[in-house]
Amino acid sequence: MSTATPPSDTAASPIPSRDPVFDELGFPTDPDNLYTQTVGQMLTAAEAINLQHRVRIILAQPKNEVMVHFPVRMNDGHHRLFKGYRIQHNNALGPYKGGFRYHEDVHLDDVKSLALLMTFKCALVRIPFGGGKGGVKIDPRSLAEDELQRVTRRYCAAISHIIGPDHDIPAPDVGTNAQIMAWFADTYMVSSGYADNDALRVVTGKPVSFGGSQGREKATGQGVADVLAEMLPGIGIPLHGMSVTLLGFGNVNSWAGRILQDMGANIVAVMDHTAALRNENGLDCHALAAYSEQNYGIAGYEKQPTATGAGTRADKGVEVISEEEFYRTKCDVFIPGALEQMIKPKQAEMMNCKVMAEAANAPCTPAGDRVLQDKGIEIIPAILANAGGVTVSYFEWLQNKSCVTWDAGHVDRELNRHMCAAAQRALDARKRYNCDLRTAAFAAALEHLGEVYKVRGIFP
């Protein structure tokens, strides 16, 4: 089953008029282009808060777009050329910050969009970072571990002159993990000549044994749960007993599922790139995460023996469903935590939920968004819902800088404080500007960025 549907977006409802900034900057006219869509959301909020024109055009393009090609020796002896990116969107609030992904479908405009979203996430949560993003066009599962290590080390070497602990700080994203961050940090430290502990700060999401933070691995999922716990009572949905469906079951959603299940939620359906599963009485996300980790996906989980007791699965009655049945499953909260542009009008029409919490970056197209809004579905946008990862990355960076370690409880409490404050900031902006929550979240972030541009001025 493929969850990565192509990004064609035939909207039933009318496309809003094109912002003049697009023509001024020569943007493509293709409405399916992810970067145009993402900038469009930002410009809607810029209009709502009457942001200065100069700040709008600055934020509509990244400061730096770096594209690299590097050769890597494969295990069969031949050399393969890889394409990598690092986009530095904005650093008005602090060093560029954002992960790098390994995926066969990485394109320049996707990485630009993701870098822009990082700028807004950091500004909304009020952490002193700007936005960046990177990627290598590669299917990480098709490579042996030592090949993956060599790709990582060459990618680091290729961009090492533009990153740094106080300038641009990468982290994990789709297809990358703590081990890859460790190879990346080691390469930077050894080759840059800054082999001291401070250079560890060049990347976050490292293993805890090598300068990583407690709570970083689950941080994005934890942040999704924190935002839901903060906002759902106001929407009239009790956390205990609420039904949830998860689109994607990688790092973010497998953690969101486990944490929400522990908070009393019923995870009624999960779909990843291998299968869709449903259980009206709730799937056991702990057992499902363990299974998925070993089997590279959830397909076949329903055939596992059930039993009660620690380390076994107790969720009897799991059924395999179609993609359409998955989208039509009735639930309180739908959590897309896979790739970009997966919720288009077709999927939005089928969805039967009260709230959509965007755990992935840009999972919903503007046309899909309009369908959901017409249906009265509350959308908690990605720059709020999935800001937990970068927030704990900030805590990791702070711990490395000050040579201290925080315990897991301290990380969780600080994350919760940041996520709740960001949620309140977005809700407050929604009241002031009388707009949807996505525009409000962008507006709350833009107010902060606009103020900083006002006091800093523009050089010269």
Helix (H, G, I), strand (E, B) or coil at 365: coil
- What's the burial of 240, exposed, middle or buried (CB within 10 Å: 0-12/13-18/19+)? exposed
- What's the burial of 373, exposed, middle or buried (CB within 10 Å: 0-12/13-18/19+)? middle
From 97, 112, 121, 133, the catalytic residue:
133
Q: Which stretch in 94-102, 227-235, 258-266, 304-312 sits in contact with ligand GLU by CB under 6 A?
A: 94-102
Residue 133 designated active-site:
yes
Of the pair 206, 430, the CB lying nearest ligand GLU is at 206
Site membership for ligand GLU, residue 99 (CB under 6 A): yes
CB atoms within 10 A of CB 22: 16
CA 244 to chain centre: 19
CB of 144 to ligand GLU, least distance (A): 25
Site membership for ligand GLU, residue 266 (CB under 6 A): no
Site membership for ligand GLU, residue 38 (CB under 6 A): no
Q: Which of 204, 213, 214, 399 binds ligand GLU (CB under 6 A)?
A: 204
- Chain position whose Cβ is nearest to ligand GLU: 99
CB of 293 to ligand GLU, least distance (A): 19
Contacting ligand GLU within 122-181 (CB under 6 A): 171, 173
CA distance 362 to 365: 7
CB of 309 to ligand GLU, least distance (A): 35
Of the pair 205, 212, the CB lying nearest ligand GLU is at 205
Of the pair 204, 439, the CB lying nearest ligand GLU is at 204
Edge-to-edge strands, sheet with 378-380: 319-320, 276-278, 266-271, 243-247, 333-336, 355-357, 378-380
CB of 316 to ligand GLU, least distance (A): 36
* Paired strand residues for 353: none
3-state helix/strand/coil string of 170-188: CCECCCCCHHHHHHHHHHH
CB of 45 to ligand GLU, least distance (A): 19
Of the pair 11, 342, the CB lying nearest ligand GLU is at 342
CB of 61 to ligand GLU, least distance (A): 20
Q: Which stretch in 15-23, 95-103, 145-153, 277-285 sits in contact with ligand GLU by CB under 6 A?
A: 95-103
Contacting ligand GLU within 355-394 (CB under 6 A): 361, 386, 389-390, 393
CA torsion 179→183→185→189, rounded to 10°?
A: 150
**Opening angle at CA 263, ends 258 and 266, nearest 5:** 70
Of the pair 204, 214, the CB lying nearest ligand GLU is at 204
Block residue for tokens 């709350």: 444
- What's the burial of 278, exposed, middle or buried (CB within 10 Å: 0-12/13-18/19+)? buried
- Binding residues for ligand GLU, total number by CB under 6 A: 12
Of the pair 316, 417, the CB lying nearest ligand GLU is at 417
Closest C-alpha among 157, 169, 101, 164 to residue 131: 169
Of the pair 244, 384, the CB lying nearest ligand GLU is at 384
Site membership for ligand GLU, residue 98 (CB under 6 A): yes
Element of type H or E holding 243: strand 243-247
CB of 155 to ligand GLU, least distance (A): 16
Contacting ligand GLU within 277-296 (CB under 6 A): none
Report helix angle 388-402 to 408-433, nearest 10.
Answer: 130
Closest C-alpha among 55, 218, 47, 76 to residue 147: 76
Site membership for ligand GLU, residue 347 (CB under 6 A): no
Per CB under 6 A, residues contacting ligand GLU are: 97-99, 171, 173, 204-205, 361, 386, 389-390, 393
What positions carry a catalytic annotation?
Answer: 133
